[in-house]
Structure 1
């Protein structure tokens, strides 16, 4: 295993990731010449510098992608699949560096090699399976069919919480369908995306097919409203997603949005708490709760409330906090702004009458003064109307709400503007089936905190959690448009 001392992280990053945009198959500086620092969220130290992209850089990337599109589109699906397969295999060869790099820039404690290579290989297998349909015709001298064709240049705006997995979950399907792509990574975590772009070139992806332009809001806005972009994907907050959609609407560009969540964990009296509690805790401490699918609302049947609250409090209080290079359970938040945002939510919850059980602030001690830490926090006696039960906190904060029966549980679970993931804990199979049908969410888990063991399960949301699906065969079709073709004979006879 690669060993990195946190004090030498910047040197390791500089040797691994070029401090440049990736445009047209070349590493280039920002046209404006500006750079931005990337910080280790656990210490506040600078670990890397990347170009601060401008609208002019986006123009150059879109032009490169547009130039590369015809040849990539016309390459046979099997050859596109082969290139993607090599990219996935190369990512697997470098899975340790990818895992360490993402842990470092996000602040997540390192838990093993990245699995992005497997995601790319799965999608590579779909590239030559994109097909249309033959259609019935009114007369026998006609042939009618549909074709699925790529859009052209696709823009992809990647968030900071899981940049590697979320980049390939959109980019790989877009490429498999024959599109070219411009990626705008988050300013706080662009390094993994840049390394993935470099590995794609090494795998044989033609220049200009994949371009990566780091930067802040300006290049993101430029990409969203660029007239040369024919399809746009955004992963992030619901508020920003709405802005992205408005920008894309000016050019009537279709969008794929993966947005926020306020996912319920529904615990019935017959649930196995020894099974449920560790999964609930892991769901809110993994990545410090900075995941859209985090089950941050715990709905518990009234007879089990105190028992569950006590078990959650014990487990959360025992959570070990530290940096990406420490043997701990949870890391920091991504930056100071996000830390303060989570602390503000905690203060609002207390002012609205929620009962603070544990956590509630920055953990004490000098170790946590320079990073962006918040202690795992548990609130009891939360009313469904409280902001803590309605708004996405995006931090390690659990809210416990009570219910009496299945109907009330469903009403509370569906009672937010989101609909991303829902989880139920029960031994009653009939109840599980009913919940699977009635819960308004893109994914429903029963007695499983995550979709573990499911390969190719579509991921995406209902309502204001967005639309479109990733991580599946369906995701490749998201990046195609349908053309109808009717062929008729000329009436001439041939001997």
Structure 2
């Protein structure tokens, strides 16, 4: 591991309006007048303040969305798509400022060009592809067909690890279908969603179609799924919070989709191309400091190459550079003090359970790091599949290696958690790849790649406790619609 550090906390962007959130096209303070500090995780310095919204702010946002809904629903779908395309253009034009903003509030280094405009354009292209079907009838004077219609006012809650892409993915699909939305971003990283919403207004998306209420999860977040006039919810986050959201939705019979994280296996067979696999696996677990739901955190490896894989992974991890968002590093800090303590706590649990730290396992200290939430990339060997570090989502740069004897054991270990979001298989054998792709219990299976194939319009979502429902694919807009059946018969025939 190489360490690079330098303090810098500045925001110089007209995309950020301090102390306000967006309700009905107006930038307003919280109803209670309180704010939340947004902190730079590299040095704990203040970046900005956002409103501490409550149920009163959610109610105001729902009312604004209700007022905007009829006109937005009735706007022809091609025009809705055109406005989303214009939104994508503005995001692309402001890509550098948006990327810098998200990097600073999340703590991540640069990932290169933003993929957000591309994803939003894909969604925009689906807006006028929402179609019903014609139905067969029992008599020739009757017509049967279905309509797909928006739900109305819908809600979304997104986490802090990738706020820009998640905001666009959730909001874009919902409003493309004709809904209006109230979004609650995470209090740790709300600035990029607010900036995205500002650009949506500039693109001509009418006031009230997109509303962003900032606040704590226990206040504004809890009020949103519990609101009786929210017609559908989307939530991305932990299984524990997802269960609370689902419980709140159940009281109003509100449909929802959940994306709840993962404990993704990287299955390496003896014929794998290790020159490709090892760098990809290390990059996957250190990307965003391991704070990625799809991160491959378990290496399930053929025992015959176990020692070689451990040595290669350790050597690769030691090349990972760590530092603040504005430096050309591979990995930044964790998001906050709670997450920092959580990751270090899991490292201690792994040690206590008998797993061996091969590299990392510590928090860098010293003046060069100030008060930042840094942790070294960590590799565990001698991990039993039942250990907590192999079963529970750590959400940090912690990789566990589990040796297996054959393909069947690899399947049992890979499927042996409550999660089922992503799985990767590393092999040159086509038969092995086919069998594993079918056997692995995951919403996405990638062969010879770490985070999933670069398939355009690939649906994203999980099995088991990783949630249900899919985003990002061609059906993502359809998922924000409900189906109405229409049976029509000419009036003159009724008296025959």
Q: Aligned with 2:380: secondary structure?
A: strand
User: C-alpha distance in 2, partners of 1:451/1:264?
Assistant: 12
Structure 1 counterpart SS, 2:465: helix
Could you tell me which residue of structure 1 aligns to residue 385 of structure 2?
Answer: 384
1:11 deviates by: 4.4
Structure 1 segment 242-391 matched on structure 2, within 5 A: 242-391=243-392
Distance 1:314 1:18 in 2: 44
Q: Does 132-141 or 448-457 show the bigger shift? A: 448-457
Distance 1:189 1:114 in 2: 17
For the residue of structure 2 that corresponds to 1:281, the secondary structure is: helix
The alpha carbon displacement at 1:363 in A equals 1.8
Give the structure 2 partner of residue 74 of structure 1: 74
Unmatched segments (≥5 aa) in structure 2:
none
Structure 2 contact 322–332 (Cα < 8 Å) conserved: yes
Tell me the residue number matched to 1:189: 189
CA distance in 2, matches of 1:138, 1:404: 60
CA contact (8 A) 1:363 1:375 kept: yes
The residue aligned with 2:94 is: 94
The answer to whether residue 466 in structure 2 is matched with residue 465 in structure 1 is: yes
CA contact 2:6–2:368 (8 Å) conserved in 1: no
| CA–CA separation in structure 1 for the residues paired with 2:145 and 2:151 | 19
SS of 1:204's equivalent in the other structure is: coil
Tell me what 1:176 maps to.
176
Structure 2 vs 1, CA of residues 209 and 395 (structure 1 numbering), >3 Å: closer, same or farther?
same
Further displaced range: 415-424 or 311-320: 311-320
User: Structure 1-normalised TM-score?
Assistant: 0.97
In 2 relative to 1, CA 6–322 (structure 1 residues): closer, same or farther, beyond 3 Å? closer
Shift of 1:118: 1.3
**Following TM superposition, by how much is the alpha carbon of 1:491 offset from its aligned partner in structure 2, in angstroms?**
3.2
Deviations 1:131-153 (A, max 9, x none): 01111111211111111110011
Q: Distance in 1 between matches of 2:188 and 2:16?
A: 18
**1:246 positional shift:** 0.3
CA distance in 2, matches of 1:457, 1:11: 35
- Superposed CA offset, 1:242-286 (max 9, x none): 110001111000011011100000000000100000100011100
Give how far 1:14 is off.
Answer: 7.0
TM-fit CA distance, 1:10? 3.7
> 2:20 and 2:274 mapped to 1: Cα distance?
49
Give the 3-state SS of the residue equivalent to 2:114 in structure 1.
Answer: coil
RMSD, aligned CA: 1.5
What is the alpha-carbon distance in structure 2 between the residues aligned to residue 449 and residue 236 of structure 1? 21
Q: Offset at 1:367?
A: 1.9
Alpha-carbon distance in structure 2 between the residues aligned to 1:20 and 1:281: 39
* 2:445 partner SS: strand
Q: Does the 8 A contact of 1:384 with 1:401 survive in 2?
A: yes
The equivalences for 1:427-466 within 5 A come to 427-466=428-467
Secondary structure in 2 matching 1:118: helix
CA distance in structure 1 between the partners assigned to 2:417 and 2:454 by the alignment: 28
Counterpart of 1:135 in structure 2 is 135
* Rounded Cα–Cα distance in structure 2 between residues aligned with 1:330 and 1:392: 19
Asked whether the 8 Å contact 1:100–1:113 carries over to 2, the reply is no
Residue in 2 that maps onto 1:206:
206
Gaps of 5+ in 1: none
For 1:50-91, what per-residue CA distance to the aligned partner results, in whole angstroms no more than 9, with x for missing partners? 111111001000110011111100110011011111001111
Contact 1:156 1:181 in 2 (8 A): yes
Distance 1:361 1:153 in 2: 46
Matched residue of 1:256: which SS?
Answer: strand
CA distance in 1, matches of 2:221, 2:395: 21
Cα distance in 2 for partners of 1:352, 1:58 equals 45
Structure-2 separation of matches of 1:184 and 1:27: 15
Does structure 2 conserve the Cα–Cα contact (< 8 Å) formed by 1:98 and 1:113?
no
CA distance in 2 between counterparts of 1:369 and 1:403 reads 42
Deviation at 1:368, TM superposition (A): 2.4
Query: CA 1:7/1:384 → structure 2, altered by over 3 Å: closer, same or farther?
Result: closer
When residues 303 and 492 of structure 1 are mapped into structure 2, their CA distance, relative to the original with a 3 A threshold, is closer
Contact 1:92–1:115 (Cα < 8 Å) also in 2: no
Q: How far apart in 2 are the matches of 1:481 and 1:361?
A: 50
Distance 2:215 2:202 in 1: 24
Cα 1:392–1:79 change in 2 (3 A) is: same
Partner of 1:73, secondary structure, is: helix
Q: Deviations over 1:216-250 (max 9, x none)?
A: 12000000100110000110001100110001111
8 Å contact 1:98–1:192 — kept in the other structure? yes
